[in-house]
A and B are shown apart, each in its own frame.
Chain A
Amino acid sequence: MNKKTTIAAIIVVAIVVIAAVAVVLMQPAASTNKKIIYWTQIAPVQQKAALLAGTVDGAVGWEPYCSDALNDGTGSVVVWSDQVWPEHPCCVIAVRYSDAFPNNPADNQLVARVVKANMVATNWIVQTINAGSGTNYTSLIQMGAQFSGIQASVVQSALGHIEYSNQLTPAVKAAFANFTGMFADLGQISNLAGYPNTTAFANAITNTSYLAMAPDIQPSATILGSVHLGYLNGDLHQFARVVAMNTSLWGGKTLFQDYGVNVTSPAPYANGGAVMDGFAAGSIDMGYLGCPPAILKRINANIQIQIVSLVNSEGSAIIGKTPINSLSQLEGKIVATPGPASIQHLLLLYYCNLNGYQLKLKGT
């Protein structure tokens, strides 16, 4: 090696070493006055496998994946979401407002009819779950198993943890405002889309007019129009859509068709953020998604949507790898979450703070 090459090599190595030292020194000092629980991002559908593999020690996800891990003993419940936030809203139906849709009374009718069909399907689900047996109950469980790819017994357990309801009550709006405030505290949003406070924003993002129209809407003998509807893959929170799309329950046509709407859907989305991207790309007119990504991307990406119906409340849980069944046992361990934009992540963050734990990304 000649002299020049040696000098060049030394300079390169020196730069790398200096950069590495600088990066290490620039890291914020680790907080030592709080107990720490670590998080990492793993999709709920993969969380049970991660628990089994020992990749993580806990997980926070949605149904049916919580029950899937609990039923075979892989996981144990730390806390159900309704124990932390009773009747907290979760999934919603949102509509995107654009020049194309819904910009006239006929389009508004279509939105109201989708809301109505969802409402009828929700009522059918609630009645069927309450009945607890019979042909309809068997059909419901089979539909859930087929849609989520999970065993029927797991679906049965999961349905016991989800509250299906549609009304956007003041409590629901207050919860939206609370979530928005949490995102602001986390620095994930830096404004409120021009609204003075979280309550004003929560009121603006919800539109109850379609729910108000729904009781007067009757089935239609003809198809009045089409709606592109997005939804999440395998999420039993959005079971009303699955039931409404089933033709055998509603006389050979879907419930949406019964109310005069021809619903088409692209491939199911992986998460609520992707549903919002579907809105932005103009791929869908309406969509089922969790309220947190709806709030986040309404503000940050200025995607002009409004929430027009609740789909479910509750139905999430923090679970530990058996025998872990309390938050204190998760201290210093790793919990999988669907990601910081999810309600499940907020639940874990809130519950950690409530119990004096700091939630920290593993490795930082």
Chain B
Amino acid sequence: MKDNPLRIFGLFNRERFLANMNQTIFGIAAIVTFIAAWWGFSIYLNLAYVPSPDRVVWAFFTSFEKTEISLGTNMWGNILASLQRFGIGFVFALALALPVGLIMGFIKTADSFFKPLVELFRPIPPVAWVPIFLLIFGIFWGPVMVIFLGVFFPLLSNVIFGVKSVDQPLIDAARTMGANRITLFKKVIFPYTIPFIMTGITIGLGIGWMCIVAAEMIGAVGGGVGFYIFYSESIGRYEFMYAGMAVIAILGIGTVGVSHYVENKLNRRMGVK
């Protein structure tokens, strides 16, 4: 078979193009089918809480333009508030889960000590902590701590798993070449764990966005997208509620997408893919 000239330079891959085209066509078809079904249901049901897609699109753009008098801000302000507490919660989780996970995975005594605590608290859904965190940490740090928990445990589990997954021949080889414990950790264990850390971050980000809505519904400073959803529902403006949900979806897709991108880059760079 004669190669396409563009393929020689790595610019065109017919198989990949066709595969992607199929995927794109199916993706578009799924979205169109969903919107058509939604539109049909909204007309058939004729209920305020099942607004048509065009009403939600209108509410989506209106929410960015119009300042909600009761809340004193528009959707931009709510996004900023959510991103702020999400960012802080995420950084805290990363800062704690990373060292604890590496230590638990690397040192058996630490694993034995921390494991019962981790297993005790991990099954508790982060949202179950919302009311008590609100009282203990207040209306700013309470939701932040819920996000922290949502990100912390998946990240921790992945880091521990990553450390424990290091191939024994690699460790043996490093030791044979005279690596001490610190060098072994720096040169073998930690680099090997990075893809697992990225997987943990991606999972944690997804769970973090789920937590933020629940946390902000109970109480929050400066609004937030979750708060906006709850507020819109409480006054019966359902199209704005769906607009808020769409914003959460976009933010979630965006952050997880960035995380996936970084994860793929790192994996390629480290020879995992």
Contact = CB atoms under 8 A, between A and B. Distances in A.
A138 interface: no
Q: Which 9 A-B pairs have the closest CB atoms?
A: A363-B222, A300-B236, A301-B236, A363-B221, A297-B236, A301-B48, A364-B72, A364-B73, A340-B70
B80 A41 contact: no
B73 A186 contact: no
Nearest to A26: B76
Contact of A55 (B66, B73, B139, B236): B139
Contacts of A271: 234
A363 B140 contact: yes
A42 B230 CA distance: 13
A326 B81 CA distance: 31
Contact of A361 (B47, B70, B131, B258): B70
B231 A340 contact: yes
Contact of A27 (B66, B77, B134): B77
A301 B234 CA distance: 10
Contacts of A186: 69-70
Interface in A332-364: 334, 339-341, 360-364
Contacts, number: 121
Contacts of A339: 231, 234
B77 A364 contact: yes
Interface in A155-191: 183, 185-189
B45 to A, nearest CB: 11
Given A12-B258, A42-B219, A53 B70 contact: no
Contacts of B135: 46, 49-50, 53, 55
B219 A27 contact: no
A23 interface: yes
A20 B80 contact: yes
Looking at B79, B80, B81, B223, which has the most chain A CB atoms within 10 Å of its CB?
B80
A299 B234 contact: no
A276 interface: yes
A182 to B, nearest CB: 11
Contacts of A334: 139
Nearest to A271: B234
Contacts of B48: 280, 300-303
Given A339-B231, A364-B73, A40 B47 contact: no
A280 B77 contact: no
A364 B134 contact: no
A42 B227 CA distance: 12
A53 B138 contact: yes
Contacts of A12: 258
Contacts of A302: 48
A41 B67 contact: no
Given A50-B135, A280-B47, A41 B236 contact: no
B43 to A, nearest CB: 15
Contact of A340 (B79, B138, B234, B269): B234
B222 A361 contact: yes
B49 interface: yes
Contacts of B227: 41
Contacts of A363: 81, 140, 220-223
A28 interface: yes
A40 B81 CA distance: 14
A300 B237 contact: yes
B136 interface: yes
A360 to B, nearest CB: 5
B81 A280 contact: no
Contacts of B131: 46
B264 to A, nearest CB: 11
Nearest to B67: A28
Given A188-B235, A340-B231, A341-B234, A362 B134 contact: no
A225 B237 CA distance: 34
B238 interface: yes
Interface string B210-247: 00000000111111000100010111111000000000
Given A28-B67, A50-B135, A364 B222 contact: yes
A188 B70 contact: yes
A24 B236 contact: no
A181 B67 CA distance: 19
A273 interface: yes
B265 interface: yes
Contacts of B139: 40, 42, 55-56, 334, 362
Instruction: Choose among A188, A189, A277, A303 the residue with the greatest number of B CB atoms under 10 Å from its CB.
Output: A188
A5 B231 contact: no
Nearest to A339: B234
Interface in B119-139: 131, 134-136, 138-139
A296 interface: yes
B71 interface: yes
Contacts of B231: 339-340
B80 A40 contact: no
A184 to B, nearest CB: 11
Interface in B238-270: 238, 258, 261, 265, 269
B197 to A, nearest CB: 17
A300 B67 CA distance: 18
A330 B254 CA distance: 41
A361 B220 CA distance: 9
Interface in B41-92: 47-49, 66-74, 76-77, 79-81
